[in-house]
Amino acid sequence: MLMLDLLKTHFGYDAFRPLQKDIIDTIVSGKDTLVLMPTGGGKSLCYQLPALALPGMTLVVSPLIALMKDQVDALCANGISAAFINSSLTPSEREAVMERARSGELKILYIAPERVDSYGFSSLLDAVEISLLAIDEAHCISQWGHDFRPDYRNLGMLRRKLVGTPVVALTATATPRVRKDILEQLIMPKAEVFVSSFNRENLFYSVRPKYNAMSQLVELLQAHEGESTIIYCFSRKNTEEIAQALTRAGLPAEAYHAGLPKRQRMQVQEEFIRDETPIIVATIAFGMGIDKPDVRLVVHMDLPKTIEGYYQETGRAGRDSLPSECVLFYSYADKRKQEYFINQLGDRQEHALATRKLEDVIVYCQSDVCRRFILLAYFGEIDAATSCEACDNCTEPAAEPVEATEISQKILSAVLRTGERFGAAHVCDVLRGSRKKRILELRHDDLSVHGIARDVSAGALREYTHALKKCGYLQQSEGEYPTLQVSSKGKQALVNKEEIMLPVVVMEEKKKARKRRSGTDLAYDVELFEKLRALRKEIADEQNVPPFVIFGDKTLYEMAFYFPSNLDAFSGLFGVGRKKLEAFGEAFLACIAEEVAARGLEERSVPVKASKRPSTRAARTSGTLEETRGLLGEGCSIEEIAARRGLGSRTIVHHIEKLVLEGDDITIDHLRPSKEVFDEIEEAFRATGGVTLTAVFKRLGEKYSYDDLRLVRLFLSDQE
């Protein structure tokens, strides 16, 4: 039960995900291991948990600087001693980390691959017991992978230096050829290989035709209001244009691309991670180092180069396993854009490989079969189910044949009148009476078909055109600029005035089918959830970490459903380990209790998980209120109590809040701030209406800590 105990204590989980336990047991037994597991599948835990059970230090090689920081923040919040070494540190900071490693203080050390052969690192390896070498993003070592990095070639040397140390290589995207290359490069001929399914069940995949893309995008973002979203674009210029357009539409967005100054890129990324900027519009330069688990929407405005890249980019959605959405806007013109860059490749082998990979993406976009099946089959899961309940092709209403003779005749006539030299977009523009520059130059506004379908939406025209192609009335030419042509079947139907039946799904029905799923099946209290989110953000700002490091959305959903009233019940929630229970339990319980009292909500029993034994740890923790009360009676300051208790000052302040709110007879007059400070904070509470501490904090220019504000609030409530 050791591993389950560590899992609950440090990570707050009651059970392992598929394959995790087998992988961890293999690593702890000292065997080399290759792990292929999708993003969000729990790869990190596969080396983080063994690191706690093994005697020495675990060395983790990762190419992602931002990801290192996020993971170290999360590990420290879970009570695990961790640090990183990369180019973001000064020489003195790097030396301080290495000294912590040499002293045996660190259990996990993250390092960038380019640091492996840097000055001083080799001597560190000689001075420290390395129990495990973990190589994250292992596909970067293979020239056959989509993200090859030359620095990863140094890892073979590192492997030889750490002879006898078990190695675990982990990746989310690797074809069979890349897997073979990883094993060869890392000299792991006898490695145990674990291949988890690439199926991300919580992701909903859809492909939308790229017309009126901005209005469709705005509609999507409004459906995901307030949730974290990444929008990928082909060019830097596009990212800036779309970000500006969204901001003008009242949807705050920031652009991110490699052409921006480094400081600006870092600021945009930091604001996104900290829930201060909900929407990022970016090139694929963004996201590799993002460990943000609560991204709810990933949109591709342009065609990806490869299935691997697309899978990895969409994998940034829903890492917390909650329902999230992945939307790709597709037009045939995007294929030509990608082909232009492929044609710049001088190497014939590279050109052929890039062309084949692009064709795989086109198949994904144009296919009528299950999107998930196509993705899984690409990665070798040929026995995957051929239908799912989480993609547009499987969930949109079946197209029933409808009588469409009149509109079909108009479309077929427009194709003929324009000379069968244009694509669907131009033909639809003519039918709807557009006066675009191109139409006027070609004098297509003089044609008899110009404007004869003004009353039909552009989306519906596209649907009818697609259906005419599918039924053989229209055909599309091959070549660099594909055009629509009327087939012999279509011409015959026009001449004979035949009735035309088309399988068309009206857009309103599609929109109903697209209605996104809630983030959870729990009927949680929305008002309380938003207050818990605000509290999480407040605590995260105080501790200078992203909000998800405090608690994930799933934990907040459970809080807002079960309304736990004590630490014992709170400890049973998903993601609540001992460290977080002690650090944050009282604060969140106070928020829940306030809402329960104000609105008459009733607590629900938190289900006892199979792995949760009748431990008295939580009960003992709740007894710490008595210890805090005793030290207050001795006249101790908050700092003194925190030092003597080995707890943070924030936890002590929440103890005091709970004691006061419960009517406990305690004396806290010695904690009252000076009159000058008290009056200034009191005025800020009055001016903001005391709605949230954050409003008071901002009004005072972040001059005082949240603990100062809480203390003054306690004295103010006593005066009322």
- What is the residue-wise DSSP string for 418-476? TTT-S-HHHHHHHHTT---HHHHHTTGGGSTTTTTTTTS-HHHHHHHHHHHHHTTSEEE
Range name among 219-223, 359-363, 471-475, 476-480 with the lowest pLDDT average: 476-480
Instruction: List the one residue out of 108, 79, 74 whose CA is nearest residue 9.
Output: 79
What confidence score (pLDDT) does residue 648 get? 67
What confidence score (pLDDT) does residue 573 get? 93
| Residues forming CATH 1.10.10.10 domain(s) in the chain | 401-504
* SS3 at position 544: coil
**Structure token pair of residue 463:** 């649907």
Half-sphere exposure of 317 (CA within 13 A, CB side): 29
Q: Does the pLDDT of residue 452 top 90, yes or no?
A: yes
Residue 187 backbone phi and psi in degrees, to 5: 55, 55
Decide: 179 and 36 in contact? Cβ < 8 Å. yes
Decide: 185 and 156 in contact? Cβ < 8 Å. yes
Which residues, including other chains, have CB under 8 Å from residue 523's CB and lie 6 or more apart? 561
Q: What is the mean pLDDT of residues 621-645?
A: 79
What confidence score (pLDDT) does residue 297 get? 95
Burial classification of residue 225, based on how many CB atoms lie within 10 Å of its CB (0-12 exposed, 13-18 middle, 19 or more buried):
exposed
The residue ranking higher by pLDDT, 657 or 493, is: 493
Q: Does the pLDDT of residue 361 top 90, yes or no?
A: yes
Burial classification of residue 499, based on how many CB atoms lie within 10 Å of its CB (0-12 exposed, 13-18 middle, 19 or more buried):
exposed
The tens digit of pLDDT for each residue in 158-184 reads 888 888 899 999 987 767 788 888 888
Give all strands (DSSP E) within 143-185, no chain letters.
167-171
Query: Residue 214 and residue 231: Cα distance in Å, rounded?
Result: 12
What confidence score (pLDDT) does residue 457 get? 82
Helix axes 262-273, 65-77, angle to 10 degrees: 40
What confidence score (pLDDT) does residue 620 get? 42
Distance of CA 145 to the CA centre of its chain: 22
What confidence score (pLDDT) does residue 518 get? 59
| Residues forming CATH 1.10.150.80 domain(s) in the chain | 526-719
Q: Does the pLDDT of residue 555 top 90, yes or no?
A: yes
The residue ranking higher by pLDDT, 478 or 112, is: 112
Count CB atoms within 10 A of the CB of residue 355. 14
Q: What is the mean pLDDT of residues 529-550?
A: 89
Report the chain's C-alpha Rg in angstroms.
30
Question: Dihedral, CA atoms, 552, 554, 555, 557, nearest 10 degrees?
Answer: 130
What confidence score (pLDDT) does residue 619 get? 40
> Given pLDDT bands bounded at 50, 70 and 90, which one contains residue 420?
very high
Amino acid at 558: E
What confidence score (pLDDT) does residue 478 get? 65
Instruction: List the one residue out of 201, 219, 203, 208 whose CA is nearest residue 393.
Output: 208
Query: Residue 300 and residue 282: Cα distance in Å, rounded?
Result: 10
Which residues, including other chains, have CB under 8 Å from residue 77's CB and lie 6 or more apart? 543, 545, 549, 550, 579, 580, 583
Amino acid at 401: P
**Structure token pair of residue 710:** 């809480």
> Given pLDDT bands bounded at 50, 70 and 90, which one contains residue 563?
very high
**Structure token pair of residue 398:** 């079946």
> Given pLDDT bands bounded at 50, 70 and 90, which one contains residue 108?
very high
Instruction: List the one residue out of 239, 228, 248, 202 whose CA is nearest residue 40.
Output: 202
Decide: 199 and 376 in contact? Cβ < 8 Å. yes
Query: Residue 568 and residue 385: Cα distance in Å, rounded?
Result: 42
The tens digit of pLDDT for each residue in 282-296 reads 987 665 556 788 999
Cα diameter, the chain: 101
Q: What is the mean pLDDT of residues 488-512?
A: 78
The tens digit of pLDDT for each residue in 334-356 reads 887 888 888 888 788 888 888 88
- When the pLDDT of each residue in the chain is averaged and rounded to a whole number, the result is 85
Query: Residue 594 and residue 588: Cα distance in Å, rounded?
Result: 10
Question: Dihedral, CA atoms, 173, 227, 331, 205, nearest 10 degrees?
Answer: 50
What confidence score (pLDDT) does residue 434 get? 92
Class of domain 526-719: mainly alpha
Q: Does the pLDDT of residue 691 top 70, yes or no?
A: no
Burial classification of residue 433, based on how many CB atoms lie within 10 Å of its CB (0-12 exposed, 13-18 middle, 19 or more buried):
middle
Query: Residue 140 and residue 459: Cα distance in Å, rounded?
Result: 42
Q: Is 602 left (phi over 0), alpha (psi -120 to 50) or beta?
A: beta
What confidence score (pLDDT) does residue 27 get? 93
Q: Does the pLDDT of residue 622 top 70, yes or no?
A: no
Amino acid at 366: Q
Q: Does the pLDDT of residue 3 top 90, yes or no?
A: no
The tens digit of pLDDT for each residue in 460-486 reads 888 888 889 888 999 987 655 678 999
Distance of CA 419 to the CA centre of its chain: 47
Percent of the chain with pLDDT over 90: 34
Instruction: List the one residue out of 362, 348, 231 whose CA is nearest residue 305.
Output: 362
The tens digit of pLDDT for each residue in 325-335 reads 999 999 877 88
Tell me 399's DSSP state: P
Q: What is the CATH number of domain 401-504?
A: 1.10.10.10
Count CB atoms within 10 A of the CB of residue 620. 11
- Order of strands across the sheet that contains 203-209: 203-209, 324-330, 295-300, 228-232, 279-282, 253-256
Q: What is the mean pLDDT of residues 255-265?
A: 89
Query: Residue 585 and residue 571: Cα distance in Å, rounded?
Result: 8
Query: Residue 388 and residue 372: Cα distance in Å, rounded?
Result: 7
What confidence score (pLDDT) does residue 155 get? 85
For the domain made up of 2-195, give the CATH fold.
Answer: Rossmann fold (3.40.50)
**Structure token pair of residue 123:** 């001597």
> Given pLDDT bands bounded at 50, 70 and 90, which one contains residue 514?
low
Decide: 153 and 141 in contact? Cβ < 8 Å. yes
Range name among 159-163, 503-507, 636-640 with the lowest pLDDT average: 503-507
Q: What is the mean pLDDT of residues 533-542?
A: 89
Q: Does the pLDDT of residue 117 top 80, yes or no?
A: no
Decide: 661 and 718 in contact? Cβ < 8 Å. no
Percent of the chain with pLDDT over 70: 90
The residue ranking higher by pLDDT, 57 or 112, is: 57
Query: Residue 332 and residue 44: Cα distance in Å, rounded?
Result: 39
The tens digit of pLDDT for each residue in 366-386 reads 888 899 999 998 888 878 888
Which residues, including other chains, have CB under 8 Å from residue 582's CB and lie 6 or more apart? 621, 647, 651
| Residues forming CATH 3.40.50.300 domain(s) in the chain | 2-195, 203-395
CATH superfamily, with its number, for domain 203-395: P-loop containing nucleotide triphosphate hydrolases (3.40.50.300)
